[in-house]
Amino acid sequence: MEKLIIAPSILSADFANLGTDILMLNESEAQWIHIDVMDGMFVPNISFGFPVIEAIQKLSKKFLDVHLMIEKPERYLTQFKNAGANLITIHYEACTHIHRTIQEIKLLGCQVGIAINPGTPVAALNEIIGIVDLVLIMSVNPGFGGQEFIPHSIQKTKDVKSLANQCGNFRLKIEIDGGVSNLNAKDLISAGANVLVAGNFIFKSKNQKSTISDLLKLGE
């Protein structure tokens, strides 16, 4: 079993003290930083763009996991790569020519992920799961932090793991984003998840570094 990866979601950080929060993550056991980019079109919220990602990249010592919740993400792939993205995740629902966009991300030298919303069936991944590095399962409806976890996401995780094995992509990373906490993390890991995104659960805890460590221990 691959080592569990914790990817704190910077969307839940204190934006008045973003540098301090990035330095805290540098000192923590978290391996990735999850960056949610929202355009106000694909999701009903707007987050941040290239200048903020560039600022994070300058301070961060971590792998930057950039999750694009935007329409027509193919317009901006080079800019996200140049801003510091190590992995670019696009939404299945936001991309008409998904196979071509996956290829474009690979040509940039980034790892590539595909995200699916709660209402999108796992079967939608049939034609592409063999050529991506990661599948991101949205366990809340995308757009806002702090939402309640959708329990069916556990079964969905099992289904993605099964589909990946069927097509021979045994190294696929399965990432869960939304409402992740110590209450559901163990079940998600057992189902096949190996990357957990956590926002409020980490940043609103009293000891953020300990919370990250405790989540990691659940994967041992």
pLDDT digits (tens, 9 = 90+) for 180-194: 999 999 999 999 999
What single-letter DSSP state applies at residue 4?
P
Do 49 and 37 form a contact (C-beta atoms < 8 A)?
Answer: yes
Q: Which residue has the tokens 């193919």?
A: 74
39 an active-site residue?
Answer: no
| pLDDT at residue 143 in the model | 78
Instruction: Please give the Cα distance from 85 to 56 (Å, whole number).
Output: 10
Do 194 and 165 form a contact (C-beta atoms < 8 A)?
Answer: no
**Residue 173: CA atoms inside 13 Å, Cβ hemisphere, count?**
24
| pLDDT at residue 2 in the model | 75
Taking 50 as the pLDDT cut, the residues of the chain under it are: none
159 an active-site residue?
Answer: no
Which residue of the set 21, 39, 133, 177 is catalytic?
177
Q: Which residue has the tokens 């079940």?
A: 187
- Name the pTM for this structure: 0.96
Which residue of the set 21, 36, 39, 65 is catalytic?
36
Would you state the structure tokens that stand for residue 33, as one six-digit string? 């930083």
| pLDDT at residue 1 in the model | 57
Q: What's the CATH fold of domain 5-204?
A: TIM Barrel (3.20.20)
Q: CA triplet 181, 166, 116: central angle to 5 degrees?
A: 45
| pLDDT at residue 67 in the model | 98
Share of the chain residues as helix, strand and coil, in percent rounded to the nearest 5: 40, 20, 40
